[in-house]
Amino acid sequence: MKNDNIFAAIRAAFPASADAVAIESGDNGATYSWHDIDTITAQFANLLTSLKLPAGSRVAVQTEKSVEALLLYLAVLRAGYVYLPLNNAYQAGEIAYFIENAEPAVFVCTSKTRSWIEPIAIRCKVAHCFTLDDGSGTLLDAARSHSTEHVVAQKSAQDLAAILYTSGTTGRSKGAMLSHSNLLSNARTLLDYWGWSASDVLIHALPIFHVHGLFVASHCALLAGAKMIWFAKFEPQAVVNRLPDATVFMGVPTLYVRLLAEASLTKAQCRNMRLFIAGSAPLLIETFNAFRERTGHTILERYGMSETVMLTSNPYRAEDGERRGGTVGFALPGVGVRVRNDAAAECAIDEIGGIEVTGPNVFSGYWQMPEKTKEEFTSDGWFKTGDVGKRDARGYFTIVGRSKDLIISGGYNVYPAEIEGYINDLPGVAESAVIGVPHPDFGEAVVAVVVAKAGNAVDADAMIASIKANIANFKVPKRLFVVSELPRNAMGKVQKNVLREEHKSLFAESSKRVAQR
């Protein structure tokens, strides 16, 4: 019987030489063969199976990045459960929300975070809590006694493989439900479109709790039978040092900005590279040009989302066209992408409208939020991305903005309404507006503008410290201004565009410093 479990496809793609290195740690040189991937995921999967979890159970994971953490992801697929990755910057309030919403049966944290996560997990009736650190932890201890043989769980194409929480357009985070076939169909498309082969070597320096690092990067390498050089954290100099041993690199634009700040990034250093891919946030044309000038490589920019995995890509092969900076390329083979205006009519060439998508890659809906799911799909079943853009006569898409109030900082999404909620709850605050302004390193930086209640004095630094104690660090405003009132239009709506204009040069000085480096 055909098994649509994506792990079955990954396992089938393992090279015949099982002892070849599949993953090498860029941090300490430790190596993992294809055989190791098979046996360690089998042990993890057997451990999960022994817990006798109900079908479809979620396994929530908030750990540091490590090879074992990737193997845990693969093992959850292998055992047929649903993987739920969480950004390791999330703090207690954020974690409590995800646990309450997703009701995982298993939570894997680190030995450092266990003291505060376990009480939340127990309160929320999570049946099993384990720790996983780099090469140690209760999960590894428990898995060691299990067999290294495991039959990959039978799954159908539509069965859930993962839930990725994303802010979306309104309200609190929503869990985008991705099936085995959403993930596999997209990975197979990318494998072909980007010309992957077993002789590739990927430098993997992205976090593995988002689409980019977890699915796009890892799936391509694994399904190609290609080796990965695995970095727990992105350190630009360490990456530059390993470029001669690699052929492919993937990063959010901030990673490219930081690579360019390294004088050691040269054409010679990139001599064996065949492809640099960027995505998750807009790649500035200045970065695109500077990278080409310095390395001789034209970055391939692509566009995707948690709900859809990858949607569009600039071409890899010259015969498919040139890679055009400032665009996100063509709709991927098999993916329908259209642009529609406010009258729900398809836009003309170069006319700006809302980007909508359909295809085997598009998620089935938000976890236990049928109403929200309905709102995000058109009556004819296309998913509304919330991105605003256009298509040119040759079929290249360009993203020009977002209809959703969202800030993308260093590739992480920050939802202003969530931050405003925290700020408005602080003592003495009447109201606030959170905006994104240009930032030379992060692309956009989070900035807050706050109005105090009459008769109250509020302190910007104290407020920032208080926010920092409660939410993930990347969401914390880099600057906070206290003002007497917020600009409003005739309807009384806060004019965030006015605030963005007012603060657009806030980080221009640091921009000059980056340029001078």
Binding site for ligand MLC (CB under 6 A): 206-207, 210-213, 233-234, 252, 254, 279-280, 304-305, 409-412, 442, 473-474
> Of the ranges 79-87, 177-185, 285-293, 303-311, which one interacts with ligand AMP (CB under 6 A)?
303-311
- Phi-psi label, residue 395: left if phi above 0, alpha if psi -120 to 50, beta otherwise: left
Task: Find which of ligand MLC, ligand AMP, none residue 328 binds, CB within 5 to 8 Å per kind.
Answer: ligand AMP
Q: Does 80 bind ligand AMP (CB under 6 A)?
A: no
| CB 281, min distance to ligand AMP, A | 5
Q: How many angstroms separate the Cα of 149 from the Cα of each of 31, 40, 262, 464?
A: 21, 9, 45, 51
> Of the ranges 78-86, 119-127, 297-305, 437-445, which one interacts with ligand AMP (CB under 6 A)?
297-305
Select 62 or 110, whichever has its Cβ closest to ligand AMP.
62
Task: Find which of ligand MLC, ligand AMP, none residue 387 binds, CB within 5 to 8 Å per kind.
Answer: ligand AMP
Q: Does 328 bind ligand AMP (CB under 6 A)?
A: yes
CA distance 148 to 150: 7
- Phi-psi label, residue 326: left if phi above 0, alpha if psi -120 to 50, beta otherwise: left
The answer to whether residues 257 and 285 touch, using CB atoms and an 8 Å cutoff, is: no
Select 104 or 386, whichever has its Cβ closest to ligand AMP.
386
Q: Does 305 bind ligand AMP (CB under 6 A)?
A: yes
The answer to whether residues 206 and 181 touch, using CB atoms and an 8 Å cutoff, is: no
CA distance 139 to 59: 12
Write the CB contacts of 46 (distance below 8 Å, at least 6 apart in sequence).
79, 143, 146, 147, 150
Task: Find which of ligand AMP, ligand MLC, none residue 474 binds, CB within 5 to 8 Å per kind.
Answer: ligand MLC
| CB 209, min distance to ligand MLC, A | 8
Q: Which of 106, 281, 339, 433 binds ligand AMP (CB under 6 A)?
A: 281
Task: Find which of ligand MLC, ligand AMP, none residue 399 binds, CB within 5 to 8 Å per kind.
Answer: ligand AMP
Q: Does 251 bind ligand AMP (CB under 6 A)?
A: no
> Of the ranges 242-250, 255-263, 317-325, 385-393, which one interacts with ligand AMP (CB under 6 A)?
385-393
x-marked contacts with ligand AMP along 407-446 as a string, rule CB under 6 A: -x----x---------------------------------
CA distance 259 to 235: 9
Strand partners, 451: 431, 483
Write the CB contacts of 282 (distance below 8 Å, at least 6 apart in sequence).
253, 399, 408, 443
Write the CB contacts of 311 (distance below 8 Å, at least 6 apart in sequence).
302, 303, 304, 305, 328, 331, 332, 335, 337, 357, 361, 385
Nearest to 218 by CA among 349, 366, 84, 69: 69
How many residues lie near ligand AMP (CB under 6 A)? Answer: 19
Q: Does 402 bind ligand AMP (CB under 6 A)?
A: yes
Select 181 or 280, whichever has its Cβ closest to ligand MLC.
280
The CB-nearest residue to ligand AMP is 306
| CB 496, min distance to ligand AMP, A | 17
Q: Cβ-count burial of 56 within 10 angstroms (0-12 exposed, 13-18 middle, 19+ buried)?
A: exposed
The answer to whether residues 186 and 215 touch, using CB atoms and an 8 Å cutoff, is: yes
Residues in the chain: 517
The answer to whether residues 318 and 395 touch, using CB atoms and an 8 Å cutoff, is: no
Task: Find which of ligand AMP, ligand MLC, none residue 398 binds, CB within 5 to 8 Å per kind.
Answer: none
| CB 442, min distance to ligand MLC, A | 4
CA distance 332 to 335: 5
The answer to whether residues 45 and 37 touch, using CB atoms and an 8 Å cutoff, is: no
x-marked contacts with ligand AMP along 6-45 as a string, rule CB under 6 A: ----------------------------------------
| CB 192, min distance to ligand AMP, A | 20
Q: Is 135 helix (H, G, I), strand (E, B) or coil?
A: coil
> What's the token pair of residue 294?
């310095």
The CB-nearest residue to ligand MLC is 410
| CB 1, min distance to ligand AMP, A | 34
Under the rule (CB under 6 A), what is the footprint of ligand AMP? 166, 211, 279-282, 301, 303-306, 328, 385-387, 399, 402, 408, 413
